[in-house]
Chain A
Amino acid sequence: MQVSIYRYNPDTDEAPWMQDVDVDIPAGRDLMVLDVLELMKSKDASISYRRSCREGVCGSDGVNMNGRNGLACITPLSEVVKKDRLVLRPLPGLPVIRDLVVDMTQFFRQYEKIQPYLQNDKPAPATERLQSPEEREKLDGLYECILCACCSTACPSFWWNPDKFIGPAGLLQAYRFLSDSRDTATAARLADLDDPFSVFRCRGIMNCVSVCPKGLNPTRAIGHIKHMLLQQGT
């Protein structure tokens, strides 16, 4: 199989370039894209990418595979390879540090903006803050996000305004805390989001839903945030 991989070493390259590499895929096996990267790295140690758990939990190896963002470790070749060719690029829209490694500073700056931690101004109970099963159920589909950035870097609004639009990953987490029955900062959280960029730059094109490797739905969460803003503001 031919793999075309994005290469860029700021110390030696003036501009990024694509390297074509022939990779021998063991017959009868459907390798993950990360396995292919490992095979390539065993022959060329200079190829750089992030990886850690290799089972879709840590979110390190988000890459663009044949034009589609996803986690290399849980994406089988049979899902992405077309005409025996695989094109690997870094996640789009973020600055490239080297090869497939991107600078996630902007992504995490947006995540930091939504204050991703429980805020409660009531006195702490003796044991713990309890939730009913129904209240806990509201967090399903939200807390599972692993912050791999596949969604935000598939979003044109995030490409255009990465410093102003929170992005689908951050907004999914914003809604996770807005819908948490133990959080008492709902009004302040919503007030922070009521500007023309943070939430309302979402055009609902659902690229985020399409690429999320965990099957989450940031567009729905953004819709809920807009609804909450509407209820609070009217």
Chain B
Amino acid sequence: MVTNATSLTRSGLSDFIIQRVSALILGLYTICITGFLLLTPDLDYATWVAFHGGTWMQLFSTLAVLALAAHAWIGMWTVGTDYIREHYFGQRATVFRSIYMVICAGVLFVFVAWSLQIFWRL
């Protein structure tokens, strides 16, 4: 058993499931948005706002944003632990990896907070 404090759930299986379920949610969200764009010939700002103003769409968008954040964290964490290693960076690898992960976490936090503010008009 390899323990790691920075993986999303500490469990390989849980991360594996979250990554796949979040991909499914994002796929459905993409189909939903694409379908709306294709099926709405006279698309204007008012229609777009009305489409996103419904409670179900707000919930779906929130779910998609959270799914993207979880998906991105697992992916970026995997990339970071693959490439930012002692082999390339020596003893400083842990520092570099920590900086990289703080940047990733910061970007994802801003993305989630900003998205929720927009979708829920906070």
Contacts and interface: CB of A to CB of B under 8 A. Distances in A.
Interface of A: 157, 160-161, 164, 191-201, 226, 229-230, 233-234
Interface string B1-26: 11110010011111111000000000
Interface stretch (B64-72, B78-86, B96-104): B78-86
Contact of A195 (B3, B78, B82, B83): B3
A161 B10 CA distance: 17
11 contacts: A161-B81, A192-B1, A193-B1, A193-B12, A195-B1, A196-B15, A197-B2, A200-B15, A226-B13, A233-B11, A234-B17
- Which range contains the number of B residues in contact with the other chain? 10 to 19
Given A200-B13, A230-B13, A233-B13, 6 more contacts: A160-B85, A195-B11, A197-B4, A197-B12, A200-B15, A201-B78
A194 B82 contact: no
Given A199-B12, A200-B15, A160 B83 contact: yes
B13 A229 contact: yes
Contacts of A229: 12-13
A194 B12 contact: yes
Contact of B2 (A164, A191, A226, A230): A164
Q: Identify the interface centre among B1, B12, B81: most chain A CB within 10 Å of its CB.
A: B12
A27 B88 CA distance: 46
A28 B4 CA distance: 57
